[in-house]
Amino acid sequence: MGQKITKKELERAETLYSEQRFDDAVEEWKKILKRLNKPQDKFQLCGRICSSLCDVGKYREALTFAGQQCELANAIGDAKYKAEAFFNIAFSNEKSCEFEKAISYCKRAQQTHPDKSAISGKTYLCLANAYAGLSNFRRSWTNYVRAMDEAKSTTSKVLEIQTSAKMGALFCRLGDHESCAAYCNNALELLGDLMDDDPDLKYRRQVVVQIAEAFRKQGRLAEAMDSCEVVTTCTIFWSMNELREK
C-alpha cells in the first residue's frame, strides 16, 4: 500500500510540475523523500527537487539538496551518481553567481565521469555560463559550442533551446545585436514545436526577455516594450492556470 501511495504522490508532483506549480511540486517531493529507503531513489528525487528549486530562484536551498545527492552518491559508490551530484552543485553555484565554484565543480563532474552521459551537455552549458559571468568570453564561447554539439548529437531540444538563448545573450553583451537576434529566434523556433502545457515553455519567457534587452540597447524601445508585454502575458496565463488549479 505504501508503494502505491508513493507512486500516486509522485504522479501528483509531476502533474504540479507540468503545470509550472514548482513550489507545490517541491513540497510534494519533500514529503515523499522522507518515506524513501533506497539511496538510489533518494538520489533521483533530491535531483528533481534541486532542479525545481532552481526554477523558482531558490538556489541556496537547491544547493542543500545537491549536497545531499553528493552524500548519497558516495554511499552508492557510482561515478555517474557522483558526477551528477557535482553538476547540480555547480549549477546551483552558477545560478548564485559563485562562478569560480561552479567552474570547479563542473570540472570535478567531468573528471569523475569523463565518458559522455546525460549531463555532459548541461555541464558544458554551465561552464559556459560561469565563464561568461567572469567575462571570459573566449572560454565561454568554446563551451557553448561544445554544449550545442552535444545538444545536436543527442537530439536534446531543451539543451539546444537553452544554449541558443545563452549564445544570444553573449552576443548581446558583446554588442552584436544581429547575432543575438539570430540565436534567440532560433530558440523561439524550437520552442514553437512544444505543446502549450509543456513546462519547458518557461524558456520562452527567458528568450523573449533577452530579445527585449537587445532591442533596448539598440534604442528600439517600442519593440522592446512589445517583447515585455509578451512575457507579461505568458506570466499572467500561467499564474491564472495555477489559481484555477488551486
pLDDT digits (tens, 9 = 90+) for 221-240: 888 888 788 777 766 555 55
Q: State residue 162's pLDDT score.
A: 92
Residue 112, pLDDT above cutoff 90: yes
Q: Give pLDDT, residue 41.
A: 93
- What number is the average pLDDT over the span 160-185? 92
Give, in degrees to the nearest 5, the angle at Cα 14 between 64 and 235. Answer: 85
- Each residue of 133-159: pLDDT tens digit? 999 999 999 999 999 999 999 989 889
pLDDT of residue 1: 40
Query: Which pLDDT score is estimated for 241?
Result: 52
**What is the average pLDDT across 2-7?**
62
Question: Which pLDDT score is estimated for 103?
Answer: 98
pLDDT of residue 187 exceeding 80: yes
State the maximum Cα–Cα separation within the chain, in Å, rounded to a whole number.
Answer: 62
Residue 243: predicted pLDDT: 45
